[in-house]
Amino acid sequence: MSQRMWWGRLVLGSPVINSGTTAIAAGRGLRSGFVGLALLALAACSEDGRLPSNSRHWVAISPQVQSLMEEKGMNARQPILLRAYKKESELEVWKQDASGEYKLLKTFPMCRWSGQLGPKKTEGDRQVPEGFYAITPQQLNPHSNFYLSFNVGYPNAYDRAHGRNGSLIMVHGACSSRGCFSMTDEQIADIYALAREAFGGGQKAIQLQSFPFRMNAQNLARYRADENMPFWKNLKEGSDHFEVTKREPQVSVCARRYVFNSQPQDGTRFDANAACPPVTRDESLVAAVSRKAAEDEQQVAALVASGVKAVKRVYHDGDQHPSFKHTTHAAVAVESPQVASSVPQGVSKVAEVSQPDALAFGAVDLPAEQTRGLSRQALLARAQQAKLQEHAAVAVAPAPQAAPAAGPAPARGGAPVGTAAVPPPATATALVAAEPKRAEPPFYSRWLGSLGGLSANASGAEEIGPKPVDAPVPPKAPRR
């Protein structure tokens, strides 16, 4: 076996390596020399405490995630499945057990995503894709500009059938996004290592299920009038297949829509742009999924009948999980930010790629009847107007009146004893904290004049394409 072939096998078949350890069972002779060289590179970290770029592929699964797997009877080599929810800003990692079913390993709070709820359509629209995607070993990128990354596989057959385009959509670190699922460096290290080990255990492709929100009755009722709802209901079909079986659904595309756990009866392949052929399906599974869909629709109908209004959610440019709002990963400065992780995060790329003011703006739910037919710029302007009105209402809200202290009974024919000691009502306003003065106008006004440029690519660092990791050159030990 050649040196290059052996190294490629080691990359995808490596056992879990803990930082600072030097335990790998290897071959003999010349191979042992290369293993020693690899371990030397692994043992040497860069100055900020992270692995240097030439050995990031070998990043260890954290002790915390290792403990989680042990508690749940899982091991690193078992297959994984990913589920992402934009509105909730969460990414779930599921692991397959011995029965073939998947169980939730961990939910990672998403540090940053960009755009709006809805699918990605064009290059530079800052949208995070929604749909079902396959991640293969060749899509891992240990040389990422954002610490570690892997390509999600956008556009897929569904996207291409709808004329959508774009490239280099990643799950990566650095907490900065313009169309990607962005995590912290510590988080992506765990997710990347879990993917690497699953591939090493024989998994051919990892399924990523990307949703606008959790497919529950509350969200379906609130966003029922959104123009993307027909597409989202197609995504829900796949979600329901997974929820019912806890097994990875087989995903195909025909008639420009997703179909799940189906096989063409004539033995041909599905064509994304052609009509769906007669299919063979597990009728018991079809019945179970149909029952779940009917139950969810009943819950939606009950919520609508109870008065839940149809709204459209609008972001300035995406969001992040609430757990990051007052950390070093937040867009706005705070007096005493909490460090989100004890692991060094390197140089932040938030200012290079993300739009920092967007997070301070937050999400706005507009009445659906006020948003029909509006362009993206008009939606953002309407959302900004609603946000300004909300802040104005808070600013003019009357301060709570302090209740008078109980005192002795009033004297006959006169005022209560001690009346003079009661402070005048005007002093109640001192209970309300004054709005700090700013040297510049609110960011709502600053970005209103630049709405036309929101769909353009932001300047700054770009993700580089993934380099093959199945046969890299052995890493060199860093100079001391």
Active site residues: 172, 180
* Phi (first) and psi of residue 230, to 5 degrees: -60, -40
Q: Which among 128, 232, 235 has a CA at the least distance from the CA of 183?
A: 128
Other CB atoms within 10 A of residue 74 CB = 19
Structure tokens at 141: 């990128």
Q: Up-side HSE of residue 46: CA atoms within 13 Å toward CB?
A: 14
Other CB atoms within 10 A of residue 6 CB = 18
